[in-house]
Chain A
Amino acid sequence: MSTAIIDYNAGNVQSVLFALERLGVDAVLTGDHDIIRSADKVIFPGVGEANTTMAYLRERGLDELIRSLTQPVLGICLGMQLLCEHSEENDTPCLGIIPQKVVRFRPEKGEKVPHMGWNSIRNLENGVFTPNLEGDYVYFVHSYYAEVGPYTTATTDYILPFSSGLQKDNFYATQFHPEKSGKVGAAILKNFIAL
């Protein structure tokens, strides 16, 4: 059992590694194509800006590599948004693996953007979400979100309902940070590793 965390100089990918260590999962932080391709599980974390991150991935051929992966892949936060088709953040074409648009929160009644803090996940569907987690709180930090669509596996309400989880084929994704979401986040990471 090997788990690769895609390292692309994004902020705080260490946290994902530490979270897996706490679960007793042996993981490696790497940008190496062969290691990523041959891993049993791949985690695509992310904190940062969509456009520069896509450029970074393209320069290293990681965009093509991610598209070609057939094992379970988990995109986290920006990693989830980049799995989608397009992000409104600097009008960025993304990986296009999940046909879904990513747009910016537009406050209606003085709500704060970014959406930062603990919020609950609902309408959970299979994959990394077990029914016992319905309504539980997880940790978010983001200004852009994926709309609710056919690939939504969890929703969260902030200004409007958005996709806090997505899945298409072997690609799973969470908008929140499971690595920072206490016991609930640990359970979700464990579910992914057990796929």
Chain B
Amino acid sequence: MLAKRIIPCLDIKDGRTVKGVNFVNLIDAGDPVELGALYSEKGADELVFLDITATHERRKTLAALAKDIAQHLNIPFTIGGGISSLQDVDALLSSGADKISINSAAVRRPELIDELARNFGSQFVVVAVDAKLMNGGWYIHLSGGRIPTEIRLLDWVKEAESRGAGEILFTSMNHDGTKNGFANEITARVSESLSIPVIASGGAGQMEHFYDVFTKGKADAGLAASIFHFREIEIRDLKEYLQGRGVAVRL
């Protein structure tokens, strides 16, 4: 049976891991390659590295980091953050990244999804989506959640799928950093409206939250950062708990 995936997310700035709580207040939490290998050892199914560096040297640094990670990691990983061109993606994939994630750049120019899927294959293209519940509707936000748009979440994820996205990484900005649980209801609607896998992100605080997002939220994978980085939840314990409650996991 296909296992539900547990994915730690590592935010990267200038080659170091950091974590934003509600996208602000960054705290340094270690070396990405070492931390990645450690997570693989502990039972993580996959890793996401999100680069938040904003310098012009970024592309070269990130490709070097991707290669370093690929050499040391024996599980799949995704690299995202500020990716906006075929050249960015080419550099990352040829360095050994398994998938890349695009976010704002895809909203600003949706054809980017088609181009990436055509050139590299859908399985490489994760479309990350930050959305916020406002006046009863879920709306896409850009640039790490700072810029609101009038694009509706379900419209956008369906468009992303039809243009060739291989997977959706959905973050609820209302839940991110709260540790009160994932946005299960809307995650289920996103998942049920698509035929590609959905990674749920934002709000994990307890092991039960993962059970909820896999059952009520119909998510294929659950992503979290600080609870893993600060060892509030050990991945092994989480997986044993999920298996005990009848969720298929890789142990």
Q: In the complex, are the beta carbons of A18 and B71 less than 8 A apart?
A: yes
The reply on B110 being an interface residue by CB < 8 A is no
- Expressed in whole angstroms, the Cα–Cα distance for A141 and B99 within the complex equals 11
Q: Given A12, A120, A179, which contacts B1 in the complex, CB threshold below 8 Å? A: A120
DSSP majority for the A interface? mixed
Q: In the complex, are the beta carbons of A15 and B75 less than 8 A apart?
A: no
Known: A141-B123, A158-B2. A118 touches B93 (CB 8 A): no
The reply on A51 being an interface residue by CB < 8 A is no
Report the minimal beta-carbon distance from A30 to chain B, rounded to whole angstroms: 16
Residues of B46-96 at the interface with A, using a CB-CB cut-off of 8 Å, are: 67, 70-72, 74-76, 93-96
Known: A12-B96, A112-B220, A118-B250. A180 touches B2 (CB 8 A): no
Q: In the complex, are the beta carbons of A12 and B74 less than 8 A apart?
A: no
The reply on A104 being an interface residue by CB < 8 A is no
Q: List residues of chain A with CB within 8 A of the CB of B176.
A: none
Q: In the complex, are the beta carbons of A139 and B121 less than 8 A apart?
A: no
Q: At the interface with chain B, which of A31-39, A167-175, A182-190?
A: A182-190
Report the minimal beta-carbon distance from B213 to chain A, rounded to whole angstroms: 15
Report the minimal beta-carbon distance from B208 to chain A, rounded to whole angstroms: 22
Q: List residues of chain B with CB within 8 A of the CB of A114.
A: 122-123, 166, 196-197
Chain B residue total in the interface (Cβ 8 A): 34
Q: In the complex, are the beta carbons of B120 and A180 less than 8 A apart?
A: no
Chain A residue total in the interface (Cβ 8 A): 35
A-B contact pairs, 10 of them (CB 8 A): A22-B71, A47-B121, A107-B195, A115-B2, A117-B3, A137-B3, A139-B75, A180-B98, A181-B75, A183-B74
Q: List residues of chain A with CB within 8 A of the CB of B95.
A: 14
Report the minimal beta-carbon distance from A68 to chain B, rounded to whole angstroms: 29
In the complex, what residue of chain B is closest to A180 when comparing beta carbons?
B76
- Besides the known contacts A19-B74, A21-B71, A118-B3, 4 further A-B residue pairs in the complex with CB atoms under 8 A apart: A12-B96, A119-B3, A137-B250, A157-B1
Q: List residues of chain B with CB within 8 A of the CB of A88.
A: none
Q: List residues of chain B with CB within 8 A of the CB of A158.
A: 2
In the complex, what residue of chain A is closest to B3 when comparing beta carbons?
A118
The reply on A116 being an interface residue by CB < 8 A is yes
The reply on A11 being an interface residue by CB < 8 A is yes
Q: Given B120, B167, B220, which contacts A11 in the complex, CB threshold below 8 Å? A: B120
The reply on A110 being an interface residue by CB < 8 A is yes
- Expressed in whole angstroms, the Cα–Cα distance for A183 and B73 within the complex equals 11
In the complex, what residue of chain A is closest to B95 when comparing beta carbons?
A14
Q: In the complex, are the beta carbons of B96 and A49 less than 8 A apart?
A: no
| Interface contact tally, CB-CB below 8 A | 86
Q: List residues of chain A with CB within 8 A of the CB of B1.
A: 119-120, 157
Q: In the complex, are the beta carbons of B93 and A12 less than 8 A apart?
A: yes
The reply on A48 being an interface residue by CB < 8 A is yes
The reply on B187 being an interface residue by CB < 8 A is no
In the complex, what residue of chain B is closest to A49 when comparing beta carbons?
B121
Report the minimal beta-carbon distance from A106 to chain B, rounded to whole angstroms: 11
Residue of B76, B98, B120, B195 most packed against chain A (CB within 10 A)? B76
Q: List residues of chain A with CB within 8 A of the CB of B96.
A: 12, 14-15, 18
In the complex, what residue of chain B is closest to A14 when comparing beta carbons?
B96
In the complex, what residue of chain A is closest to B194 when comparing beta carbons?
A112
The reply on A160 being an interface residue by CB < 8 A is no
Q: List residues of chain A with CB within 8 A of the CB of B94.
A: 14
Q: In the complex, are the beta carbons of B195 and A112 less than 8 A apart?
A: yes
Report the minimal beta-carbon distance from A156 to chain B, rounded to whole angstroms: 9
In the complex, what residue of chain A is closest to B67 when comparing beta carbons?
A14
Q: List residues of chain B with CB within 8 A of the CB of A180.
A: 74-76, 98
Q: Using an 8 Å CB-CB cutoff, how does the interface string of A85-123 with B read, 1 for contact, 0 for none?
A: 000000000000000000000010010111111111000
Q: List residues of chain B with CB within 8 A of the CB of A11.
A: 93, 120-121, 124
Q: List residues of chain A with CB within 8 A of the CB of B192.
A: 110
- Expressed in whole angstroms, the Cα–Cα distance for A175 and B123 within the complex equals 15
Known: A114-B166, A118-B250. A185 touches B74 (CB 8 A): yes
Q: List residues of chain A with CB within 8 A of the CB of B72.
A: 22
- Expressed in whole angstroms, the Cα–Cα distance for A183 and B250 within the complex equals 12
The reply on B5 being an interface residue by CB < 8 A is yes
